[in-house]
A and B are shown apart, each in its own frame.
Chain A
Amino acid sequence: AQSVAQPEDQVNVAEGNPLTVKCTYSVSGNPYLFWYVQYPNRGLQFLLKYITGDNLVKGSYGFEAEFNKSQTSFHLKKPSALVSDSALYFCAVRGSISSGSARQLTFGSGTQLTVLP
């Protein structure tokens, strides 16, 4: 079975400071990893993904994430936070089909990011 853990329900950071939203995963085979953002009363928006290649993945709105295989982590980062980044962030994972993984994504419980002005 595949699973995702987002250990922090809430992250607060001051505007202009770097931010990190943590994610660890468990999956069969090589992982497909995703980050999504959800603004109030809106659907989820895709931010970035890791499938293969460079461990540092760059995505929308200046966000990036670092894949660490040994720590089974995929933390979301941004060098300088904006107030407008305040939203709910979800990490998601699935394994490779060849390993028998499910095709649907398994989502973490979400982390509420608040950027303080």
Chain B
Amino acid sequence: GAGVSQSPSNKVTEKGKDVELRCDPISGHTALYWYRQRLGQGLEFLIYFQGNSAPDKSGLPSDRFSAERTGESVSTLTIQRTQQEDSAVYLCASSFYSGNEQYFGPGTRLTVT
């Protein structure tokens, strides 16, 4: 079956521009997560959605970062006024419920020049 998909796979943008990253979770998965992985480092939690509950935004590094999710489907992560330190791979994951294993997408590699 289809896994988690993310688009675009690569994004190069100029400093100060806004970017929007997309995640399509596995159908039927109620939980969706965004993580950031800087080069050579582990995963940094950004935000979590569970069904129609209020999202857990505790990992967002600044108010330039925001995310939305429509029901239990697509999610978009938006970074406004990008900075060079935003350069990283942004990973999306989904799970059937928040206690279960997460399935990851291939990531979007963001490069801010």
Binding site for B on A (CB under 8 A): 32, 34, 36, 42-46, 49, 51, 90, 97, 102-110
Contact = CB atoms under 8 A, between A and B. Distances in A.
B41 A104 contact: no
B42 A90 contact: yes
Given A105-B45, A109-B41, A46 B103 contact: yes
A108 B43 CA distance: 8
A106 B31 CA distance: 16
A3 B103 CA distance: 21
What bracket does the count of chain B residues touching chain A fall in? 20 to 34
Contacts of A105: 33, 45, 102
Nearest to B6: A43
B96 to A, nearest CB: 12
B102 A103 contact: no
Given A103-B56, A104-B48, A107-B42, 5 more contacts: A90-B43, A97-B98, A103-B50, A105-B45, A107-B43
Interface stretch (B14-22, B60-68, B79-87, B104-112): B104-112
Contacts of A97: 98-99
B42 A43 contact: no
Contact of A103 (B42, B48, B101, B105): B48
Nearest to B107: A43
B91 A44 contact: yes
